Structure 1
Amino acid sequence: MVKQHITDTKQSNLWHNEQERLLFAELVNVFYSREIPALAQQYSAEQLQRKLLSLPYYVERAARHITQGEVPLQLDSQNGCWLASQKRTLPPFDEHKNQDFFSSSNLIGLVVPVLIADVQYSQVVIDSIDQVRDNAVHCNQYGWFSYSGYSHDDDFRLFKPTKQLMVAACCGHRWQYGKVVAPRVLSLREMLLASMINWTNVKVPKQRHH
C-alpha cells in the first residue's frame, strides 16, 4: 500500500509538471503569433530585426512568470489574457490622494495605473516608475507626471495604485461613452509588468529575487 501511494504521488507530480509544460508552450505560441505582426506594423525592417532578436527572451520570460502563477487572476491561456469581472465605472480621479501617496512612498520600480482617455475609449494601462525628482515621477512609457497625477506632456492621468485599478488594467477593461465595452488585448510588455505587481500590497514595489 505504501509503495502504491508513493507511485501515485510521483504520477501526480509528473501530471502537474506536464500541465505546466503544456501551458507554457501554449502561451509562447500565443505571444509569438500576437507580437510578430504587431512589431512588423510598428518598425522598419532594420528595427524589426533587432526587436525579433530579443523577442524570444521576453516571450519565454512572460510565459514562465504566468505559468508559475505570479498573477492571481483567471487566465485565458488560448488568448493569452487575464479575466475578471468589469466594474461599471472607474474610481474618480483624486489629485489629493495622489499627492499624498506619490510624495511619501518608495516608488522606484512600482507598477502604477495610468488612465488614457480619447474620443472613443477610457482605459487603464500599467506602467512602471523609474525616476523621481522635482515633485514629479517618471513612468517608463508614459513620461513625467506631477505627484497629483497630471501628465506633463499629455492628457494621461496617473492614479494611486489600488487593487481594483490594477485588475482593470491587467484585464484590458475599457469604457466607451460611459458604458462597458469588450476588453483590449495587452501587449507582451504589459503581460510582463503584470507579473511585477506586488499583488499582496499593490502600493509597494515587488521584491525581486535573483
Structure 2
Amino acid sequence: MHISNSQQVDIFSDDQSQLHYAELCNALYERELASLSQQKISNISLLQRKIAGLRHHVKRAAYSLLQHQSPLQVDIHNASWQAKQAAKCMANNYVSQKTQQWFSNNIQIGCSIAIHVKHLGSEHIELDSIDRVELSSKRIHANKFGWFDIDREHTKDNYKQTDILRLRLLKPTKAILTAACCGHSWDHKGKGQQRALSLRELLLSLSINWKTFR
C-alpha cells in the first residue's frame, strides 16, 4: 500500500492509522533483526546495545514515515520510500565543479549526503552523513564511507570493502536523493532490484528538507 504526500498530513486522524503504524514497525523489526543476524559481532555488549536501541529507532522511523513531508510515497508493507526509477543512474552526470561549489557553501556536520557506490556490475546511490569537516584541506568525513575531498571522488584506499570499485561524493539534487531514499540500483541491463535501506539510512532520509533541492 502506498501513501501519498497529501494523505500523510492527517494520517493519525484516520481509522487505519494504528494499523499502518503497526505494519511499519513489524516490517522494520523484521528487516533489522535479519540484518543483525548476518553481522559478525563478537562483542556481546555491542549486540545488546544494538538490540536495546531498536525499539526507540523503529518507533521513531515508523511514526516519521507516516508524518514526513516529501514528494515520495510510503510503502506500508515494506517500510520503504517509492518513486519512479530513472532508466540510467544520474550520478554518471557528475560535474566536479558543481559538487565542490555546493559543498563549499553548504557544509554542515550532521547533514545527510549522497554517495555514488559502484560495484562490479552494479551501482547505486547511498545516504550517509557528515560527522567531521576540515575546511583548511577542503575535506569532509562521512560516517560510513570515510574521507572525501570536496572537489574529487573518494580515495578508495581509505575504505577497505573489497567489492566496491569506486565511491563518489555527489551534489544533492531531488533526483539524486530520490534514488538514494528509494534504494534504486542499476546494472549492465539497466534498472536493477530495489535495495532495502538500513534503519540508519531510513532515519537519514527523514532528515531531508525537500524544499531545499530542485
The answer to whether residue 50 in structure 2 is matched with residue 39 in structure 1 is no
Q: Quickly say closer, same or farther: Cα 1:40–1:198, change in 2 above 3 A.
A: same
TM-score by length of structure 1 reads 0.84
RMSD: 2.0
Name which of structure 1's ranges 66-75 and 46-55 shifts more when overlaid on structure 2.
66-75
* Separation in structure 2 between the aligned mates of residue 75 and residue 146 of structure 1, nearest angstrom: 34
Task: For 1:1-210, list aligned pairs within 5 A.
Answer: 16-42=13-39, 43-44=41-42, 46=44, 47-91=46-90, 92-133=93-134, 134-152=137-155, 153-154=158-159, 155-177=166-188, 179-202=190-213
The amino acid of 1:145's aligned partner reads F
Alpha carbons 1:40, 1:48 under 8 Å: kept: no
| Structure 1: gaps spanning 5 or more residues | 1-12, 204-210
Alpha carbons 1:172, 1:185 under 8 Å: kept: yes
* Separation in structure 2 between the aligned mates of residue 93 and residue 191 of structure 1, nearest angstrom: 24
Alpha carbons 1:138, 1:144 under 8 Å: kept: yes
Which entry has the higher C-alpha Rg, 1 or 2? 1
* 1:137 Cα deviation from its structure 2 partner: 0.9
Q: Quickly say closer, same or farther: Cα 1:135–1:19, change in 2 above 3 A.
A: same
* Separation in structure 2 between the aligned mates of residue 128 and residue 180 of structure 1, nearest angstrom: 26
Aligned to 1:4: none
* Separation in structure 2 between the aligned mates of residue 14 and residue 123 of structure 1, nearest angstrom: 31
SS of equivalent to 2:16: helix
Alpha carbons 2:113, 2:127 under 8 Å: kept: yes
* 1:149 Cα deviation from its structure 2 partner: 4.0
Q: Quickly say closer, same or farther: Cα 1:145–1:193, change in 2 above 3 A.
A: same
Alpha carbons 1:89, 1:178 under 8 Å: kept: no
1:33-89: CA deviations, max 9, x gaps? Answer: 111121121123713222101111111110111121344311111011111111112
* Separation in structure 2 between the aligned mates of residue 51 and residue 15 of structure 1, nearest angstrom: 29
| Structure 2: gaps spanning 5 or more residues | 1-9, 160-165
The amino acid of 1:159's aligned partner reads L
* 1:15 Cα deviation from its structure 2 partner: 7.9
Residue-pair matches, total: 191
